[in-house]
Amino acid sequence: MRTVLKILAVPFWLVLWILAPVMMFLFITAKIVLFFLMLLAIAASVFLFIDKSILGGIVFAVIAFLISPIGIPAIAQWLVEKIYQLKNALGDFIKS
């Protein structure tokens, strides 16, 4: 029974073996792009606060927080790490 499970796990491990590095590349690329967008959102927020548009400044400050490294990219990093853990766990299961 264990051998059958190992045979069934191999295709999933192969998909994760290809998917994990691709997702890591996309994550790093998106993180760089989001960093520059965050800087633009902060600049827009400061400009709107100076221009006395409080609501617009708050909206851009929230957007800047969401695309900052402690916002949505942190969730994406957690997801990529879980995919790597799953790939390694499947690889260990297949090898044992």
Whether the predicted pLDDT of 96 surpasses 90? no
Write down the pTM of the prediction. Answer: 0.75
pLDDT of residue 9: 87
Confidence of residue 44 (pLDDT cuts 50, 70, 90): very high
Left if phi > 0, otherwise alpha if psi is -120 to 50, otherwise beta: which for 40?
alpha
Residue 57 has pLDDT above 90, yes or no: yes
* Contact by Cβ (8 Å): 83, 64: no
- What pLDDT does residue 2 have? 78
Q: What is the pLDDT of residues 5-36, one digit of tens each?
A: 888 889 999 999 999 999 999 999 999 999 99
